[in-house]
Every structure is written in structure tokens, then in C-alpha cells.
Amino acid sequence: MTISEMHTAFKLELDKIDSLQYPSFTVDEIDYWLNRAIRQFIKTRYSGVNYKKESFEQTQKRIDDLRKIVREVTITCTTTGATKPNGYMLTDGFDNAQFTTDSYWLSLGEEVLITPNDTDIAASRQGVTEITANDYRFEIDNPYSEYILHYGVAKPLRLFYNNNIEFISDGTYTVTNAYIRYIKEPTEVDYSTNVSCDDLAEHTHDEIVLLAVHLALENIEQPRIETYSQNVATME
């Protein structure tokens, strides 16, 4: 749908044309509800907090819902700004120029390129060991942790810190590059500048309009909210 078509669909779903029984929404207000619906749609499909309890990549439908906003970038890592021993940070963090067009929003996972200090062992692309700040000390003291280099294989510890991701090695290898896979922040639709919902696949637009109507009805506390709540709850 174009942004104009989404506005028309929103008004029709509210039964604005014939009955005029609901408050009139301005163009800016409709944009607001559509943008709020887009963000909620993405978050619920990403997290699995939805009617089918299916998160991103659990089913083909969820993959198709969000595939157009999935991105992957390769960023050089540096020891500058590291908070832990043998830590490596993304160059410029999430302010890196590669995130300028498609801003980082939700993580889908990371891989890294590790370069062992022993020049006889080739650099290789590896996964990471996802930990919390509470797990950090345990993993550092764990002699069997996967972050320790063994036969050229290691999965460095990964911590999120402020506006960055920190990868921690055991000191016998360098984390050279990070491969960040993520969901980008959606572009806001705007009727006045003709910005449509091109970030998301066409099949999601009807669902987004229904969700926007649900949110608007909930805000004005109309009797139709119960009906719309049931419809939205059963959306694919």
C-alpha cells in the first residue's frame, strides 16, 4: 500500500465516511497511529509476544514479515574503549558510519573473525558466547569455556555495553572483525512527504492498518474496541 492508501484504509476501518460517529483524525494523527502500529508490529513479530507465540525465523510467515528490514554489516574491532581485559569493541559502536542509513534497532546475532597470535593458525570466522554481566566472572574462571582458543576454534564472550558490543578473548587471539546481523529501525511513514511503508513487505500492510485502528480505538475508548481486539489478536 502507498501511504495514501493506508490513510484511506484507516478511515474506512473506522467507518468515518458514512456514519461520522467517531472523532475526526488529522493527517498527522493517522501518521502517528500508523507509525506506532509499525513499531509494535515489528517488536511483537521479533519477540514472539503475539497470538501465535512465534518469534522471528520460527516460521516462514515470521521470516516474510520482517525479512525486508534485516541487515548485516561487517565492522572492524579495536581495543579502544574496551572495559574488560582482552576486550574488543566495534569501531565507533552503533554510531559507526555503516549504521547511518539503516540504524541498528534489534539484535539478531553476531559472528566474529578471530586471528590467533600463533601465526601457524589461520584466521577464521566464529560464533560468540552470549553472556550477561552476571555470567562474566564465571566464564572467565571456567577452564572449559568456549571463549578459550582450542585447536584454532574459540567463541569470544559477548557483552553489550552502552552504545557498543564488547567481545572478550582469552588473550591468545585477536577479534579482528564483527559481523552484526540486526533489524533496522523502521522508516517513519509520512503522508505530507509521501513516505510509504516500503520497509515492510506488502502483505503486512493490512495487518498494520488493523493494528493502528485498534490502538486508536483503544485511545478513544469506543465500544468497537472489544471487536477489534479480537480481530487483532488473531492476525497472522
Helix 205-220, helix 27-47: angle, nearest 10: 110
Q: What is the DSSP track for 201-212? A: -GGGHHHHHHHH
Percent of the chain with pLDDT over 70: 90
Q: How far apart are CA 155 and CA 161, in angstroms?
A: 18
pLDDT digits (tens, 9 = 90+) for 114-133: 999 999 999 999 999 999 99
Strands 104-116 and 87-90, by their bridges, are: unpaired
Alpha helices in the chain (DSSP H): 3-13, 27-47, 60-66, 136-141, 205-220, 225-233
Q: Which residue has the cell 547511518?
A: 100
Domain boundaries, the chain: 3-66+187-233, 70-184
Instruction: Specify which residues 109 forms β-bridges with.
Output: 181
What band does 225 get if pLDDT is binned at 50, 70 and 90? low
What are the grid coordinates assigned to 235, written together? 492476525
- Per-residue pLDDT at 218 exceeds 90: no
- Per-residue pLDDT at 12 exceeds 50: yes
Mean pLDDT of the chain: 90
Question: pTM for the complete prediction?
Answer: 0.86
Q: Is 97 exposed, middle or buried (0-12, 13-18, 19+ CB in 10 A)?
A: exposed
Q: How far apart are CA 235 and CA 91, in angstroms?
A: 41
Cβ-based neighbour number of residue 200 at 10 Å:
22
Q: How far is CA 73 from the centre of its chain?
A: 14
